[in-house]
Amino acid sequence: MGQEFSQLDTPIQFLKGVGPRRAQAFGSMGILTARDLLYHVPRRYDDASEIHPVAAAEVGMDVTVVGRVRSKGTVPTRSGLRIFQVVLQDDSGMITCAWPGQPWLDRRIRKGDLLLMTGPVKFYHGRQIHPREFILLGREGEEDGGRHGTIFVSYPASEEVPQWILRRVFARNLDWLLSQARGEEYLPEEERKVLGVSSLDRALASLHRPASLEEVEEGRRRLAFDELFFLQLVQAQVRYLQTEAQPGIPFLRTNRLIRPLYQSLPFQLTEAQARVLQEIYADMASPRRMNRLLQGDVGSGKTVVALFAMLLALEGGYQAALMAPTELLAEQHVRRIGEMLDPLGVQVLLLTGSLGASDRRRTLATLAEGEACPVVGTHALIQDSVDFQRLGLVVVDEQHRFGVRQRMALGEKESRPDVLVMSATPIPRSLAMALYGDLDLSILDQMPPGRKPVETLVKYPRNRKEIYRFLDREMENGRQAYVVYPLVEDSEKVDLRSASEEHRRLSEEVFPHRRVGLLHGQLRAEEKDSVMRAFLARELDLLVATTVIEVGIDVSNATVMVIEHAERFGLSQLHQLRGRVGRGGAKSTCILVSEPGELARERLAVLKRTSDGFEIAQADLEIRGQGDFFGPQQHGRDPILRFADLSRDEDLLRQAQTRARDRVARDPALESPENHKVRHLLEARHGEKMRLFGVG
């Protein structure tokens, strides 16, 4: 179904007060249509009841004031510093506002401008406000100034489209925009009551013309639900296409391989592993195709679970493929899986880009003949030359290292294999639902008994000599260590140590008697591979690296991880890096080197307190927010949630997912008359994403 035209799709230039010339400036802000303007989210709301009268602003206070510019000018000082000053007046009186060293503001602020200012009141030849921030509410003659009731609304603006222009355009067009939004309401009144959300036009009015801050929150919740619902709707369609549209393979369990493996394991499966295996086996036994995400912390036993799933495919006479992001990781999987399957007489095949020609031919021939076997490989598995005759199960390891199309490629084989994707990067359940709503979710939330926790220490930069002595003692005892930096090269923009420069310093000045390697993302793939192999073979004592080692192979002899500028990393990333040590039986230590600071101390205390990746991820979400989780992907871009807050809107997310899946179950292509409007809105929001997933 093609996308129909809505009045909200009208180009921005045709709105009152815009025109072709100003439309270009709006376009540079991403505002191309009337809809874009309507959904241009205010960046702050100021309650007039908290606005200080100018006369009440006393030295030492931090105030927010609103007033007109009565005079302005630039004042030179003896030191040569130029101070821009204005005299601001409201109904209570006048006060000076000063910007030391910012004379250029004289070009931006005019006499008669209505300004909202926030900052401390200081004494310098009288009371002065030194604004941290100011907002131009309107030019002289603009009466409203963006105030609705007791609330001042401020928008993200630009030099070409300042705040007062945005306000004027909204003032002239908002009634019409809201009337058009009324026609795009897709939730019946009864459903809105159940959800506890307002109508669409009322929510948008609350965003732009709130009578109170409570009304802003009421509008936000409705718009947050819409955002989550349409995101889940795309994923529900993908989920239907992957699992329901055509039948999968109903695997029959014989225990010919599963029972011998279980009996030969030198350890017991954890309760979490047993529970997750039941979920996976139930999927694989049904004619419905499996499309499941397995999340588990480093060391929680995901590979063993995946192996049991692969054996179920083999018992049914099918092939099973495990795709890893690097050759080294693929080889490690082959060694580990091979050791476990050797007593069963099952050989594991390897397929990577650097595999020798004769070995490659043998592997391709085995797969083309349809022999029931497990194969482990890299991107080489999804090349056109690889012909799987009876592919029954695809396992994708460290799935976030692959693009969307790469992740889906093996699952698109004619045999319609079941798909299990694995991630060792724990994320909160709400975030997993938002990012991977097309997948069913299994979580390994239990660690095998006996695994020693990594001791985590927080140190200041002044403690480096002590840290280096500790590192040297560990290396003297035959152990290996990592030192991680946030940058590859030195930068003039930030005062941070870099891996390249510190590698030189550590190898020449601090540890000249040790073998020190360097690993970062700008090295060629073969260079990275060579360095990691040398570290694995104990040909290096110390590895200086960036976060490229966040997901890597197991080096059981590495017992120390030092992370410089730890305050610059997210908690989940620090936890992933910490997981590179403690892989063997020896006591291991992670040292977080951080500048002093209350926020850094609060964040890093979480890592000291717990080794539970899911608890850490939840804390990361609450402290840092969700923005970092919605970054650029290899194909397209995950939508940034502008209204929904996953740390407090999980109830909305669950309802959005349930309703999206129910709607798609009843009408997979959303072609019925009742879904006509929903389909149009979905294409308007996520057309590119739908085409990427093959549901557009």
Can you give 382-412 as a three-state secondary structure string? HCCCCCCCCEEEEEECCHHHCCHHHHHHHHH
**CATH classification of the domain holding 121:** 2.40.50.140
> Which residues have CB under 8 Å from 402's CB, separation 6+?
323, 325, 396, 634
Are 481 and 543 in contact by the 8 Å Cβ rule? The answer is: yes
Assess whether pLDDT exceeds 80 at residue 629: no
Confidence of residue 480 (pLDDT cuts 50, 70, 90): very high
pLDDT digits (tens, 9 = 90+) for 581-596: 988 778 999 999 998 7
What is the rounded distance in angstroms from the CA atom of residue 209 to the CA atom of residue 495?
43
Neighbours of 5 (CB within 10 A): 9
Average pLDDT value for residue range 165-180: 92
Assess whether pLDDT exceeds 80 at residue 413: no
Q: For 476-540, where are the E strands, in sequence order?
A: 480-484, 516-519
CA nearest to 500, candidates 466, 548, 552? 548
What is the radius of gyration, based on Cα positions, of the chain? Answer: 30
Task: Decide the pairing of beta strands 82-90 and 62-76.
Answer: antiparallel
Average pLDDT value for residue range 452-459: 90
pLDDT digits (tens, 9 = 90+) for 279-331: 999 999 999 999 999 998 878 899 999 999 999 999 999 999 999 988 888 88
Are 523 and 534 in contact by the 8 Å Cβ rule? The answer is: no
User: What is the model's pLDDT at position 642?
Assistant: 85
Clarify whether residues 413 and 504 are in a common domain. Answer: no
Averaged pLDDT score across all residues of the chain: 86
- And the tokens for 108? 């931006």
What is the rounded distance in angstroms from the CA atom of residue 633 to the CA atom of residue 629?
11
Clarify whether residues 21 and 73 are in a common domain. Answer: no
pTM for the model? 0.75
User: What is the model's pLDDT at position 620?
Assistant: 80
Does residue 247 belong to any structural domain of this protein? no
User: What is the model's pLDDT at position 76?
Assistant: 86
Whole-number Cα distances in Å, 589 to 68, 226, 470, 481, 558: 60, 46, 10, 10, 10
- As a whole-number percent, the residues of the chain with pLDDT over 90 amount to 47
The residues with which 427 forms a beta bridge, in sequence order, are none
User: What is the model's pLDDT at position 340?
Assistant: 93
Which helix (H) or strand (E) segment holds residue 154: the answer is strand 151-154
Average pLDDT value for residue range 253-264: 95
Confidence of residue 412 (pLDDT cuts 50, 70, 90): low
Clarify whether residues 265 and 131 are in a common domain. Answer: no
User: What is the model's pLDDT at position 402?
Assistant: 60
Confidence of residue 145 (pLDDT cuts 50, 70, 90): low
Clarify whether residues 459 and 601 are in a common domain. Answer: yes
Average pLDDT value for residue range 164-185: 92
What is the rounded distance in angstroms from the CA atom of residue 471 to the CA atom of residue 635?
41
pLDDT digits (tens, 9 = 90+) for 538-548: 999 999 998 88
**CATH classification of the domain holding 278:** 3.40.50.300
Does residue 26 belong to any structural domain of this protein? yes
Average pLDDT value for residue range 226-239: 92
- And the tokens for 659? 């309703």
Total structural domains in the chain?
4
Does residue 207 belong to any structural domain of this protein? no
Which helix (H) or strand (E) segment holds residue 475: the answer is helix 464-476
Clarify whether residues 288 and 418 are in a common domain. Answer: yes
User: What is the model's pLDDT at position 399?
Assistant: 66
Q: Note the Cα 114 to chain centre separation in Å.
A: 39
Confidence of residue 526 (pLDDT cuts 50, 70, 90): confident
User: What is the model's pLDDT at position 626?
Assistant: 63
CA nearest to 174, candidates 166, 184, 186? 166
User: What is the model's pLDDT at position 494?
Assistant: 53
Q: Report the side by side order of strands in the sheet with 151-154.
A: 44-47, 151-154, 147-148
Give the CA angle between residues 69, 70, 75 to the nearest 5°. 85
Clarify whether residues 583 and 470 are in a common domain. Answer: yes
Assess whether pLDDT exceeds 70 at residue 411: no
Assess whether pLDDT exceeds 70 at residue 263: yes
What is the rounded distance in angstroms from the CA atom of residue 501 to the CA atom of residue 494?
14
User: What is the model's pLDDT at position 328?
Assistant: 84
Average pLDDT value for residue range 356-381: 90
Q: Report the side by side order of strands in the sheet with 480-484.
A: 455-459, 589-593, 558-563, 480-484, 542-545, 516-519
Confidence of residue 255 (pLDDT cuts 50, 70, 90): very high
User: What is the model's pLDDT at position 153?
Assistant: 85
Are 284 and 315 in contact by the 8 Å Cβ rule? The answer is: no
Lowest mean pLDDT among 54-58, 258-262, 660-664: 54-58
Q: For 400-460, where are the E strands, in sequence order?
A: 418-423, 440-444, 455-459
DSSP 508: I
Assess whether pLDDT exceeds 60 at residue 85: yes
CA nearest to 580, candidates 555, 597, 605? 555
CA nearest to 442, candidates 291, 340, 314? 291
What is the rounded distance in angstroms from the CA atom of residue 187 to the CA atom of residue 465?
63
Does residue 665 belong to any structural domain of this protein? no
What is the rounded distance in angstroms from the CA atom of residue 1 to the CA atom of residue 489?
50
Q: Which of 75-79, 210-214, 508-512 has the highest mean pLDDT?
A: 508-512
Range of the domain at 509: 455-610
What is the rounded distance in angstroms from the CA atom of residue 408 to the CA atom of residue 97?
59
Does residue 694 belong to any structural domain of this protein? no
Lowest mean pLDDT among 42-46, 121-125, 405-409, 445-449: 405-409
- And the tokens for 134? 């100011």
Assess whether pLDDT exceeds 70 at residue 660: yes
- As a whole-number percent, the residues of the chain with pLDDT over 70 amount to 91
Clarify whether residues 25 and 82 are in a common domain. Answer: no
- Measured in degrees and rounded to the nearest 5, phi and psi for residue 371 equal -65, 135
- And the tokens for 417? 């294999």
> Which residues have CB under 8 Å from 361's CB, separation 6+?
none
What is the rounded distance in angstroms from the CA atom of residue 279 to the CA atom of residue 287?
14
Q: Which of 561, 588, 610 is the last residue of a domain?
A: 610
Clarify whether residues 418 and 491 are in a common domain. Answer: no
User: What is the model's pLDDT at position 625?
Assistant: 64
Average pLDDT value for residue range 156-185: 90
Does residue 265 belong to any structural domain of this protein? yes
Does residue 24 belong to any structural domain of this protein? yes
Alpha helices in 562-669 (DSSP H): 571-578, 598-609, 613-624, 650-666
User: What is the model's pLDDT at position 619?
Assistant: 83
Clarify whether residues 33 and 58 are in a common domain. Answer: no
Lowest mean pLDDT among 133-142, 256-265, 400-409, 458-467: 400-409
**Amino acid at position 610, single letter:** T
The 3-state secondary structure of 257-286, one letter per residue = CHHHHHHHCCCCCCHHHHHHHHHHHHHHHC
Q: Which of 572, 591, 610 is the last residue of a domain?
A: 610
The residues with which 148 forms a beta bridge, in sequence order, are 151
What is the rounded distance in angstroms from the CA atom of residue 306 to the CA atom of residue 176?
56
Q: Which of 610, 635, 658 is the last residue of a domain?
A: 610
What is the rounded distance in angstroms from the CA atom of residue 230 to the CA atom of residue 681?
8
Clarify whether residues 38 and 173 are in a common domain. Answer: yes
Clarify whether residues 392 and 465 are in a common domain. Answer: no
User: What is the model's pLDDT at position 621?
Assistant: 78
Assess whether pLDDT exceeds 60 at residue 627: no
- And the tokens for 495? 């005062």
Does residue 550 belong to any structural domain of this protein? yes
User: What is the model's pLDDT at position 1?
Assistant: 41
Clarify whether residues 70 and 37 are in a common domain. Answer: no
